[in-house]
Amino acid sequence: QVRHHAYLCDVRDYRSRSHPGIEGRLVSTLPELRAFMRVNDLAFGKAQVRTRAELDLFLADGNGPRVRRAVAWSDEEPLSAGGITAHPKVGMGFLWGGGTVPRGRYRGAYSAVMEARIAWAATIGLETVGLYARVDTSAPVVASQGFRRHGFMDFWRRA
């Protein structure tokens, strides 16, 4: 069993915790998308091979009105990445895929990705962002970012 807690944050209440020298930017080019994928592969310990057609589809989707991806950079080195899916009818954005490579941890890289996603959410009129955070890894991080805990979700693994 792997427990996750649901965390929410009012977009207006979010206060950035990013650090100087770390910049979070929304993905808009193929090299940036590849950096996003590379960070996620390293952060989550699983490399996934993607075709050019899949990358083109992700890039088109990621520049649309509903889904965006962000990468935190330091001297053009990608350190952290995460995505957001907007649900405008309910005024909420769902954050997903947030991860940081070991070299970027404790440097504000995840905060820069969070800031970029929440800034985008604000520009399209979303009021709240939320995510499911794994209790033993990401939950303390998002709690330190000012998110409030609401409920839980369990994943069960079969042998």
141, HSE (Cβ side, Cα atoms, 13 Å): 22
Can you give the C-alpha Rg of the chain in angstroms?
A: 15
Answer whether 0.85 is exceeded by the pTM.
Answer: yes
Q: Please, which residues have CB within 8 angstroms of residue 30's CB and are 6 or more apart in sequence?
A: 55, 56, 59
- Average pLDDT taken over every residue of the chain: 89
Who wins on pLDDT, 48 or 68?
A: 68
CA nearest to 27, candidates 112, 100, 116, 129? 116
Indicate whether 88 pLDDT > 70. yes
Question: What pLDDT is recorded for position 62?
Answer: 56
Pairing of strands 2-10, 128-134: antiparallel
Q: Quick one: which H or E segment has residue 34?
A: helix 30-44
Report CA 45 to chain centroid distance, whole Å: 16
Q: Tell me the C-alpha distance between 66 and 48, whole Å.
A: 24
Lowest mean pLDDT among 22-26, 47-51, 70-74, 100-104: 47-51
Separation between Cα atoms, residue 143 and residue 9, nearest integer Å: 10
